[in-house]
């Protein structure tokens, strides 16, 4: 089993969907600092990481939640479903639904803790559940294709950090161009960069599950 490929390739693939977000970040930093200066320094990254060490919400969002969810809904659930005779396509579509339902607790958070109406809370959580199903399908796809839990895990952490991809901004049309270019590249490279032969030595596919039969 190859290790670094399971981190680098899925992370690079996932980041393609965020080209618009990267452009928006650079553009905003440029506009904020002026004089054609872009503030993207390792010092800012280090400061953010140090401050997060003492923030329990950071640990929950970026470490604990991705790790536990990937272990339960990918490593354990998908393996059991595949061993139970479910086809790969069925597993990729079924497990994300269960994954999204595990986020229904946010309905109570929005409704009770943030004092929002039940209708508004339902709309917010409904949108979140839809996004969760889409990401869950992608994470399941990564796990089935690569056979590595690291592949969906690093993608999960990255997406939690980045949030929703930026596809439009009134500040510059380059955000939309970047998003479209990234999305096209993502679709084009989806199967090549998740080819089982890249992640497994001496076998074309782990347990033959990614033959898509």
Our measurement of the distance from residue 48's CA atom to the centroid of its chain's CA atoms, rounded to an integer in Å, reads 20
Is 69 a residue of the active site? Answer: yes
- How far, in whole angstroms, is CA 85 from its chain's centroid? 27
Concatenated DSSP letters of the chain: --SHHHHHHHHHHHHGGGHHHHHHHHHHHHHHH-TT-----HHHHHHHHHHHHT-HHHHIIIIIHHHHHHIIIIIIHHHHHHHTT--HHHHHHHHHHHHHHTTTHHHHIIIIIS---HHHHHHHHHHHHHHHHHHHHHHHHHHHHH--SHHHHHHHHHHHHH-SPP---SS-THHHHHHHHHHHHHHHHTTGGG-GGGT-TT-SSGGGGGG--
Among candidate residues 69, 70, 148, 156, the one labeled active-site is 69
Spot the catalytic one: 32, 33, 103, 204: 103
106 part of the active site: no
Q: Could you give the residue numbers annotated as active site? A: 69, 103
């Amino acid at each position: 089993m190859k290790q670094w490929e399971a981190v680098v390739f899925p992370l690079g693939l996932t980041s393609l969907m965020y080209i618009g977000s990267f452009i928006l970040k650079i553009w905003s930093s440029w506009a904020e600092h002026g004089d054609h200066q872009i503030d993207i320094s390792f010092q800012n990254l280090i400061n953010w990481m140090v401050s997060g060490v003492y923030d329990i919400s950071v640990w929950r969002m970026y470490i604990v939640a991705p790790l536990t969810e990937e272990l339960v809904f990918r490593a354990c659930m998908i393996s059991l479903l595949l061993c139970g005779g479910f086809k790969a396509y069925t597993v990729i579509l079924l497990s994300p639904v269960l994954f999204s339902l595990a986020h229904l607790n946010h309905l109570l958070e929005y409704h009770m803790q943030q004092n929002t109406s039940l209708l508004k809370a339902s709309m917010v959580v409904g949108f979140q559940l839809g996004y969760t199903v889409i990401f869950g399908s992608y994470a399941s796809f990564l796990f089935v294709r690569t056979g590595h839990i690291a592949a969906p895990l690093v993608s999960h952490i990255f997406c939690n950090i980045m949030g929703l991809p930026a596809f439009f901004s009134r500040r510059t049309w380059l955000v939309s161009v970047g998003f479209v270019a990234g999305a096209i590249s993502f679709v084009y490279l989806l199967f090549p960069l998740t080819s089982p032969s890249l992640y497994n030595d001496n076998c074309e596919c782990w347990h033959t599950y990614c033959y898509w039969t």
